[in-house]
A and B are shown apart, each in its own frame.
Chain A
Amino acid sequence: MRAVSIIGVGCTRFGERWDSSLRDLVVETGIAAIEDAGVAGEAIDALYVGNMSGGRFVEQEHIGALIADYAGLSRLHIPSTRVEAACASGGLALREAFLAVASGYADIVIAAGVEKMTDVSSGVAADALAAAADREWECFFGATFPALYAMIARLHMRRYGTTREQLAQVAVKNHHHGHMNPIAQYHTEIKVEDVVSSPLVADPLRVLDCSPITDGAAALVLAPSDIASRYCDTPIRILASAQASDSLALHDRRDITTLDATVYAAKKAFAQARLTPEDIDVAEVHDCFTIGEILAIEDLGFFPKGEGGAATEEGRTAIGGDVAVNTSGGLKACGHPVGATGIKQAYEIVLQLRGEAGKRQVDDAEIGLTHNVGGSGGTALVHILSR
């Protein structure tokens, strides 16, 4: 296996992008990434695109070829592959691109992610997202995505004493981080009282516990580390790429309050990188709901099981804390265009490790981590990046 580095990044502004189509978003971000890397189209060996549900959201499948085409690459006939793992589709696209370069099969590879979610009604969007759960044995009985995470939250609160206010603190922190991020969907700061008084979605989760419906795209350019410096003064090394799976349905899990897919992916990633959770300076984790971030910081090993809520309340996951979590604003404030999220997470970590994160820069960030979850924990991807 060869060492692999990220030599270019791009990301669109996240939000309700009624001015742009799915293909517009990808072209915008793809151009940004290849200009950042200083590569020409002819140099690209392969494309991997994370997209969860183009068929439901914009009634377009065959996303791999579409994107190669509108990126102006159709006459070069390079292989372009869509990958899907629900909300972890972006993280999986990064992993597939990493494997293609690490194996020696390809040199310059693009990992992109895109979702255009605001062209359908919220009911249709909720149903499309529910397809990441077990359609026959969860959704058929009325389960929604917030409901699955609400059931996790309820048991976590009962078992570990996690409070309603601690859940709200995740949203407050991520909105604070997001208000410093120019590409974020929301630039408004919120208070704990705002979260706990917002409308109930699935008790105990309320509107401000939930990530929004978002349009957006992000892209990365990967290259073998030994030639990365030809393109880039600050290549960012991918120290680890790990993926794990678990039962699709929440009710079949060993423990409803732990995402074992995260636990196993994290173990593999830390072993590959020969690092421990204490070595991580900055992390982008999957906070699709506030309880999701608490699970993530426990299951990744940043804090002991059950102490994620208290750690958040004490500010240990804010910029300047033990580990800066979701400096981009996370899925909560930066937005969650499902197929793009895993790539945007790596985009944010690259900015942090290059020292280009502006007002939300973490001092001396050297090692960063991304954590992307599909469904209620059926898939998890963990990547560790280093300056």
Chain B
Amino acid sequence: MPQRYNLIGTHCKSCGEYYFPPRTLCPNCRRTGQMEEHRFRGTGTVITYTTIYSATEDFERLTPYNLAIIQLDEGPKLTGQVVCSPEDMKIGMRVRPVFRILGKEGERGIIYYGTKFAPADDAP
């Protein structure tokens, strides 16, 4: 799914709103919206977060890991992992995208890649 690797979402030319994950219909304009692909920079701000100690079987080997809701600089919010120690997590912290393995289907199965986030001190 290339949207996951490249943070490709959508932009509505009618109302100017950005969406990630991508949407076919604009929730503001619905059928009158004009959607086009938009590749997000991936820099953003942590709105809220948690550190997960008890996970589903697929993620058990990663515990504890940080999960956050991140507001991208272009506007939309998404859910993603932040790779840093739990003590370094803060509401309002800046993050940047990093390309990482997200999971795999069993020992010898398909490996899924995607975007995680890392702390960034850069200004937007």
Would you call B81 and A142 a contact (CB within 8 A)?
A: yes
Q: How far is the CB of B24 from chain A (nearest CB, A)?
A: 14
Residues of chain B contacted by A143 (CB below 8 angstroms) = 67, 79
Nearest B residue to A136 via CB reads B21
Tell me whether B69 is interfacial, beta carbon within 8 Å: yes
Residues of chain B contacted by A252 (CB below 8 angstroms) = 77
Would you call B68 and A151 a contact (CB within 8 A)?
A: yes
Tell me whether A307 is interfacial, beta carbon within 8 Å: no
Would you call A202 and B48 a contact (CB within 8 A)?
A: no
Q: How far is the CB of A57 from chain B (nearest CB, A)?
A: 15
Q: From residue 71 to 113 of chain B, which have CB atoms closer than 8 A to chain A? A: 77-81, 86, 91, 102-103, 112
Question: Given A141-B102, A252-B77, are A127 and B57 neighbors across the interface (CB < 8 Å)?
Answer: yes
Give per-residue flags for B26-57: 1 if the beta carbon is below 8 A from chain A beta carbons, else 0. Answer: 00000000000000000000011111111111
Q: Counting chain B CB atoms within 10 Å of each CB, which of A141, A158, A249 scores highest?
A: A141
Nearest A residue to B71 via CB reads A251
Question: Which residue in A138, A199, A202 is a CB contact (below 8 Å) of B51?
Answer: A202
Chain B interface main SS type: strand
Tell me whether A349 is interfacial, beta carbon within 8 Å: no
- Number of residues in A with C-beta < 8 Å to the partner? 34
Residues of chain A contacted by B77 (CB below 8 angstroms) = 251-252
Residues of chain B contacted by A126 (CB below 8 angstroms) = 54-56
Would you call A144 and B54 a contact (CB within 8 A)?
A: yes
Residues of chain A contacted by B112 (CB below 8 angstroms) = 140
Nearest B residue to A205 via CB reads B50
- Number of residues in B with C-beta < 8 Å to the partner? 34
Nearest A residue to B50 via CB reads A150
A-B contact count (CB 8 A): 98
Q: How far is the CB of A126 from chain B (nearest CB, A)?
A: 5
Q: How far is the CB of B115 from chain A (nearest CB, A)?
A: 9
Q: From residue 351 to 379 of chain A, which have CB atoms closer than 8 A to chain B? A: none
Would you call A151 and B67 a contact (CB within 8 A)?
A: yes
Nearest A residue to B21 via CB reads A137
Question: Which residue in B54, B64, B79 is a CB contact (below 8 Å) of A141?
Answer: B79
Residues of chain B contacted by A201 (CB below 8 angstroms) = 52-54
Would you call B55 and A144 a contact (CB within 8 A)?
A: yes
Q: How far is the CB of A257 from chain B (nearest CB, A)?
A: 9
Tell me whether A146 is interfacial, beta carbon within 8 Å: yes
Nearest B residue to A146 via CB reads B54
Would you call B56 and A127 a contact (CB within 8 A)?
A: yes
Residues of chain A contacted by B18 (CB below 8 angstroms) = none
**Docked pose: A12 CA to B4 CA in angstroms:** 45
Tell me whether B62 is interfacial, beta carbon within 8 Å: yes
Q: How far is the CB of A269 from chain B (nearest CB, A)?
A: 25
**Docked pose: A141 CA to B81 CA in angstroms:** 7
Would you call A130 and B67 a contact (CB within 8 A)?
A: no
Give per-residue flags for A174-216: 1 if the beta carbon is below 8 A from chain B beta carbons, else 0. Answer: 0000000000000000000000000111111100000000000
**Docked pose: A249 CA to B62 CA in angstroms:** 23
**Docked pose: A180 CA to B47 CA in angstroms:** 40
Residues of chain B contacted by A140 (CB below 8 angstroms) = 4, 102-103, 112, 114
Tell me whether A152 is interfacial, beta carbon within 8 Å: yes
Would you call A138 and B79 a contact (CB within 8 A)?
A: yes
Give per-residue flags for A115-141: 1 if the beta carbon is below 8 A from chain B beta carbons, else 0. Answer: 000000001101100100000111111
Nearest B residue to A121 via CB reads B57
Residues of chain B contacted by A250 (CB below 8 angstroms) = 69, 79
Nearest B residue to A249 via CB reads B79
Would you call A155 and B91 a contact (CB within 8 A)?
A: yes
**Docked pose: A141 CA to B83 CA in angstroms:** 12
Nearest B residue to A124 via CB reads B57
Tell me whether A305 is interfacial, beta carbon within 8 Å: no
Q: How far is the CB of A258 from chain B (nearest CB, A)?
A: 13
Would you call A141 and B114 a contact (CB within 8 A)?
A: yes
Tell me whether A147 is interfacial, beta carbon within 8 Å: yes
Q: How far is the CB of A137 from chain B (nearest CB, A)?
A: 5
Q: Counting chain B CB atoms within 10 Å of each CB, which of A138, A139, A146, A154 scores highest?
A: A154
Residues of chain A contacted by B67 (CB below 8 angstroms) = 141-143, 147, 151, 202
6 contacts between A and B (CB under 8 A): A126-B54, A137-B21, A140-B4, A141-B80, A142-B81, A251-B77
